[in-house]
Amino acid sequence: MEVKMRVVGLLRVSTEAQADSGLGLEAQRLAIEEYCEKHQLNLVADYTEAGVSGKTPLGEREQLLKALAFVASQDCEALVVAKLDRLSRDPLTQLTVERALAKTGARVLSAAGEGTEGEDPSQVLLRRIMGAVAEAEASVIGARVKAALAAKKARGERLGRPPYGFQLRPGGGGLVPNDDYEKALRCMDLRDQGATYREISEELEQEIGERWTINKVFRIVRKWGDLQTLELAGEHYE
């Protein structure tokens, strides 16, 4: 009988609100579990980071450090993530983790592939590109939003109606999640899974027990799809 490779899962969401809803974590856990089942991997443990930005230094990533220690002490062969940006949005951190794992004969695996299937030059290059893209994406969005906000403020313009799931922060200074945040998060989770607007509206009507029109779903997806809007909340939605 073939012995399955022992692996450890790592899940991360950037805000406490996402962690409390459980929706982002559920999607990651499902992706990891399906990947392990498909590739006949033995998922022996998983570690969850709630409210931890993808830019947080490695030394401050308590659960990630515990996961690495577990891999080393329990003869595991890989750390599995749903996507590489769940590991980190910092290419240097990704590389440091890869090297730490390599010292014990282990490696990083992404359920999304992303160049983690092997160590040939093309796979390594793809991993580096994905890491650089994740870092650049976060930096560019942040810079663009700050510039746009500064320009609007200088012109005395209002930012407009907050996206569904958010409200204006008391006293100004951005947006904060409100009571509808978890509903919007569920909407986006279904969209990320490939559901159509109609499928999302029907699913949410069943789950929540209230009417959800296709137009409402479209508006939420459009605004939430604009990461600039999310950055206005003052949170890191990496």
C-alpha–C-alpha distance, residues 83 and 116, integer Å: 10
**Rounded to the nearest 5 degrees, what angle is found at the Cα of 103, between the Cα atoms of 100 and 107?**
65
Tell if the pTM clears 0.75, that is, is over it: no
Q: Nearest Cα to 74, choosing from 97, 29, 106?
A: 106
- Full set of structural domains in the chain with CATH: 5-133 (3.40.50.1390), 158-231 (no CATH)
Q: What's 8's DSSP letter? A: E
104-156 pLDDT, tens digit per residue, is: 889 899 888 765 565 555 555 554 555 555 454 555 445 554 555 556 556 65
Q: Nearest Cα to 36, choosing from 14, 59, 6?
A: 6
Q: Is the pLDDT of residue 232 over 70?
A: no
173-216 pLDDT, tens digit per residue, is: 566 778 888 888 888 888 877 788 888 888 888 888 888 898 88
